[in-house]
Amino acid sequence: MDIFIEKLNRLDAEDLYKFEVENRAFFEEMVPTRGDDYYMPEIFKFRHERLLEEQAEEISCFYLIKDEDGSILGRINVVDMDESREVASLGYRVGKAHLGKGVAKKALRLLLETVKEHGVKQVNAKTTTTNIASQKVLERNGFEQIKTGDEEFEMNGQKVKFVTYFWTSNV
């Protein structure tokens, strides 16, 4: 499957909202919920605008993962870029219908090429101890596990911990 990543823009709001609503239950199996308010159309639109402002300030870069038809398959972001733009944090999610097709792996590879162009030399990421697929995506893209948190929390009836990874550019 051919995919590409494209920077988030105003025109994406409606399609992105549909994607998030369609995948809400699935995402909440993997990561802590964003809460009911996130899925209210007016709040989603407001938050979308805030993301675009943050992107314009170059604090973060938000990308949509799309297929050759322009359909949204997922999201991938680098956030909390420091002033020197050498360190950022990663976040991503792929819709349930697109799992197991290499979408996350390919999108992360594309994103890492992009952040290099912006001078980011280290990217930090977190996942949970139960999200083995995410751990594999990170590791297959050169991320190294640096620690598993001490604090357990409950998610979907399971006790989980955060697992922290980092990637460093070899350039």
Q: What is the pTM of this model?
A: 0.89
Domain enclosing residue 113, as ranges: 3-168
Are 90 and 107 contacting, i.e. CB atoms less than 8 angstroms apart? no
pLDDT computed for residue 170 by the predictor: 79
Rounded average pLDDT over 115-121: 84
DSSP 31: S
Number of compact structural domains in the chain: 1
Distance (Å) of CA 105 to CA 48, 135, 160: 25, 11, 23
The CATH number for 120's domain is 3.40.630.30
> How do residues 5-43 score in pLDDT, each as one tens digit?
999 999 999 999 999 999 998 888 777 778 888 899 999
Q: Which residue has the tokens 């349930």?
A: 96
pLDDT band at 143 (very low <50, low <70, confident <90, very high): very high
Burial of 56 (0-12, 13-18, 19+ CB in 10 A): exposed
When comparing pLDDT for 152 and 55, which is higher? 55
Distance between CA atoms of residues 11 and 1, nearest Å? 24
Average pLDDT, the chain: 92
pLDDT computed for residue 171 by the predictor: 60
Is 80 exceeded by the pLDDT of residue 1? no
